Each structure stands twice: as C-alpha cells, then as structure tokens.
Chains A and B, each alone.
Chain A
Amino acid sequence: MKEKGNSKAIKWLLIIISAVFLFIMVIMPLFTVISGALQKGLGFYIGAITDKYTLKALILTIKAAFASVIVTSIFGLIAAWAVTRYSFPGKKIIKSIIDIPVTISPVICGMIFLLLFGRQGFIYPLLDKVGIDVIFAVPGIIIVTVFVTLPMVFREIVPVLEARGTQEEEAAAMMGADGWTIFRRVTFPSVKWPFIYGIILSASRAMGEFGAVSVISGHLRGLTNTLPLHIEILFNEFNTTEAFAVSSILVILSIALMLLRLLLQQYSSRKRT
C-alpha cells in the first residue's frame, strides 16, 4: 500500500516540476511579450504592427522562411534517400558534414558568407559584372537563412528511413515499381510526419534567425531587415513597446505553425478511420 502511495507522489512531483519549468521558461516570457506589446494600448499596438517597415520586414522574413522550407525539404529528401539507400565511399563523412550548418554558431555562418561573397572574395567581381548583389542585399539574406536551416528536414527523416529499412521498397520494386513510384507511394508516406515536422522546424528557425542574417544584412531599412533585425533596431532605439509589438508577430507565426501541424495530424488520423 505504501509503495503505491510513493509512486503516485513521485508521478505528481515529476509533473509539477515539469509544469513549473514550462511556466517559468515558456509561459511567463510569452505573457511578458503580450503584456509589453499592449502597454500603450491597442491602437498603438496596431499602429506598430502595420508600420510600413514592420510590414516590409515581415514580408522579407516570410520570403526567407519560404525559400528555406523549399530548399531544405528538396535537399533533405534527396540527400536522405542517397545516404540511406545507397552505399558509396565517404558516406559517413557526408552525413557528418551535412550537420555542420546547425552545429556552428550562426554568427560564424554569416561571417563565412561575408568572406565568400564580400568585396574581398573572388566571387564578388564576377557577380558585380552581372549586376547581382548577394551580401548586404536580399539574396544574401535568403541564402544565409537557407544555409542555417539546411540539414533540418534531413535530420528528421534519416533516422526514420534507417529504422524502417529497405524491405518495403524492395517489395515494391519486385512488383515492377520504378524509383519515383517507390518514393511516392512507399518511402514518402512513411516519413511524412517527420518530414512535416522538419519543415516546421526549419520554417520556425528561418523566421527567428538573427545572428547570421545580422552579419550580412547591411540593415537597410525596409529592404534588408528581417523581423528579428527590425525588433533589435526598435529595441536599441528605446522603442520597447514597439519592439514587443513586432515580437508578438513572430510569436503568433510560431503558434500558427504549431497549430497547423496539429490540425494536419488530426485530419490525417481522421482520414484513416
């Protein structure tokens, strides 16, 4: 009898500790953002989020997130397939290299691109001739954002592909299916959810990316400021309430992504039954 009581106590203790952590580290900060944003009233809040620089920053952020999602999902699928379904020399090295963009500090990522595409680099004169600006311009922001999120879909689907093995695909091949049909009807459905999760991760990360973008942005107002950069500028200019107001946009976007994923999961399980 006493043992049962003890394990119940432990169960609730663990739950309470987790809840307290969640509250302090997630709920309270979120609440602070909202209350900080509304400090000067609803009218001020709406003015801040519809300000033309905010909207331009929002559009740029969405562009970067979109590009990131597209590139990282295509790359992720192709690379994951290659790495789990074929054997070739250097496979292990490639798997480790792919992880580099998420393991090194974003600031260093930015600096790498600065070196590569800056005026001191060798690529610059070639691009300049064609009239293409990479760093301190929108293309640079997109490229850098894609870079820091590159492995995210890959990392989510590789473990699943490896765990599932190749038997289902072999079965499909035996029945005459070609590579694309196998991928479409057998492989992809098995990694659909990790894939979607990877997309959400890369979209969230892309929207929130600060360090790498800050290094190569040039901070051109209304042109090369993403939402996080714009928030920093507002904050540095003592426009704290506006900073919080614009932050709330990011918070809302993240929550929206989370909800989207939940909805998709609901829909899919309902479809099954």
Chain B
Amino acid sequence: MYVALDDVNKNYGDYKASDHVSFSIEKGKLTGLLGPSGSGKTTILRMIAGLETPDSGTISIDGTVVNDIPASKRGIGFVFQNYALFSYMSVYDNIAFGLSVKKVPKDRIKSRVNELISLVGLKGMENRYPSQLSGGQRQRVAFARAIAPGPKLLLLDEPFAAIDAKVRVELRTWLKEMIEKLSITSIFVTHDQDEAIEVADQIIIIDHGRVEQSGTPVEIYQQPRTAFTASFVGNATVIPDYHIFSHFEDIHGANTAVIRPEFLHLTRAGEVEQFPNSSEVGTVESILFRGSHMEIKVWVKGSLLTVNRPIEESRVEIGEKVHIFIYQIFVTTRDKVYHLKNKALYDDSVVI
C-alpha cells in the first residue's frame, strides 16, 4: 500500500477531529475523501501532508512512517482550496518556486516550468499575477506549482470548491486526465459526491472523524455498508419506519430505510404498470424541471418521496393521484445496511 493510515486519532480539546482512522491507498490511484462539512476529511489530508500532527497512530508513505518527518521534507504536492498562490509572484515564479527552493539550475527550471505551463494550458500567461487570473486559471497554476517539483504524492483540498459550476465540471475532467497522464498517486478532499463519483478511482466516506466506508464509486453507491453512507450518497430520502410500505421483508430491530429516486417508478392512472398490485398510491406535491428529467415529489403514506420521470412522458399535475412502485430500499441499522428488494420482484406470478 502506498499511503497507509493506522489508527490515527486527533483531538482539539474535547473535540474529536479524527477517531481511529485507518485506511490505505494504492499507488497511482486517485482517491477521494468524501464527507459533509466538518467531518474531519481536511484534517486527515493535512495530517498526511504534515501540516497537522496526529495525537496517536501512524501515517506511512511508500513504506516509511512519516509522523516525525516535517511537511517540507515529505515530498508531497499540496493544492489548497483557495489556491494559496503567492500573490506577489508571477505565474512563472509561482510554478518555479518549488524548484528554486531546491536550487535547481535556472535553465532546467525554465524548461520544466514552460513544459507545465503548456500542460495546464496557460501558455502566454507566464508574466501575469494571480490577481489577474480567473478562478479556473488560478487553480491550474496551483496544480502546476504543486507538481513542478515532481512530488510522489499529490494532495488536493476541495480543489473546486471556490469555482463556479460550469468551470467546475470542465476542470474536474481536466484534473482527472492530468493525473492519469502523470500517473501520480493523488488524494483529494471533497463534499461534492458528484465530483467524487466522477473523478475518483476509490472513495473513502468520512463522517464525524470516522471512516464510514471505503470502496470504488460503484460499490459506495450501490452497496452502502453503513447507514451514513446510504443516506449521504445519492439523492436519499430517509424513511423513519419502512414498515408502512407493505411489500418488504421485516428485519428484526431495523426500522429506518433510505430510498433513492431511481428505486421508484411513477405510473399515472391509465398508464401501463408492471406490478399494479404491489405499488403504493401517492399524491403529487411538487414538480421540478431538472433539465434532463422531471423531479417529482409525491406524498406516500405520510412520507415525501422523490421520483424522476423522463421528460418525454406526459406531464403530471400537482394533487394528482399516482402509483409509485418501490423497487428496492436500503434498510439501515447503525452499522449494517440491508439491501431489500420489493417482494413482488420475487413472485413469478404476474397478476393481470
């Protein structure tokens, strides 16, 4: 394992920022630390970087325990949330900084910096100052600056948080390409699950300083193993007691369930329904146009569920009575998630 954390703890007074954190990351992979604000993911990142010190536990990089190695000597590239570009230096000097500190000869610096400037697509901007760049451009400079000294590990702290939506998507894709091209082991922190799912090879879910789950994006999404993961990822609605829906197996001691829009199907009166006897009746509460689909909120047995409807299909109306078929739900206890399918799917008999 390239980066490994073993039972790392960090407290700020009484506040537990990291609680028995253990995980490992493979070389060359792009890993996302995903969690809500205040979950402790940035703390973990900063401890790996050496900007914070763990109270206990070890952090190893490439087989070496780095707890006692100062940040400046760990050979890590760090991209900050607010870029942290040196405002009194030009783009060129910013990128060259790490190399000039290492006393690399001037001509080698020049070729490397120019190479990076082309790589990140900022040719012609060498002499500009950070205040003269857009957010996206600044982030690219920050990236180039971090990798210029050839670090073995790249850490990114919410790299796109300060960038507007459209640019964010473009940059996301660009970053993944860059990292793949350079094949540098990278860890980034984000609270945006779309970003994590799209970009990362591996996702680690963090909440309240604890590791909730670690796995590929597909695993995280489709096979959540903790209640938090189930409710955090995807457009989740939490149902306090799933027994109100009659078609699901009872699990002793479990009441809470998580439902995602893609688990539901909405049928209007008069439309063909696959499992008419196993669907619930609901009343349409609101309709939202989401560009590629309609997002419809429906009251079903006292719970407000969210379901998506293709844009080509006929429009529902507010107050309309519709049928909602629930394909599956995640029933959650504290640390187990049950993936329950609607009993109707098991029955071979189809009632006409």
User: Which of A167, A168, A178 touches B72 (beta carbons < 8 Å)?
Assistant: A178
Residue on B nearest A171 in the bound complex, by CB: B84
Q: Give the A-binding residues of B (Cβ under 8 A).
A: 49, 51, 71-73, 76-78, 80, 82, 84-89, 97-98, 101-102, 129, 145-146, 149
Among listed A14-22, A126-134, A181-189, A195-203, interface-contacting one: A181-189
Bound CA–CA A185/B87 (angstroms): 11
Q: Give the B-binding residues of A (Cβ under 8 A).
A: 167-168, 170-178, 181, 185-186, 189-190, 192, 272
9 interchain pairs, CB-CB under 8 A = A170-B71, A171-B78, A171-B80, A172-B86, A173-B72, A174-B78, A175-B149, A176-B101, A176-B102
Q: How far is the CB of B18 from chain A (nearest CB, A)?
A: 19
Q: How far is the CB of B73 from chain A (nearest CB, A)?
A: 7
Are A172 and B97 in contact (CB-based, < 8 A)? yes
Are A176 and B72 in contact (CB-based, < 8 A)? yes
Are B73 and A167 in contact (CB-based, < 8 A)? no
User: Which of B72, B80, B84, B88 touches A189 (beta carbons < 8 Å)?
Assistant: B88
Are B80 and A167 in contact (CB-based, < 8 A)? yes
Total cross-chain contacts (CB, 8 A): 62
Are B84 and A177 in contact (CB-based, < 8 A)? no
Q: How far is the CB of A166 from chain B (nearest CB, A)?
A: 9
Q: How far is the CB of A167 from chain B (nearest CB, A)?
A: 4
Bound CA–CA A181/B97 (angstroms): 11
Are B80 and A170 in contact (CB-based, < 8 A)? yes
Most buried by A among B86, B146, B149: B86
Are A173 and B71 in contact (CB-based, < 8 A)? yes
Are A176 and B98 in contact (CB-based, < 8 A)? yes
B contact residues around A170 at 8 Å (CB): 51, 71, 78, 80, 84
Seed contacts A176-B102, A185-B86; 4 additional CB < 8 Å A-B pairs: A171-B78, A171-B145, A174-B71, A175-B145
Bound CA–CA A147/B181 (angstroms): 60
Residue on A nearest B155 in the bound complex, by CB: A174
Q: How far is the CB of B309 from chain A (nearest CB, A)?
A: 45
Are A175 and B80 in contact (CB-based, < 8 A)? no
B contact residues around A172 at 8 Å (CB): 86, 97, 101
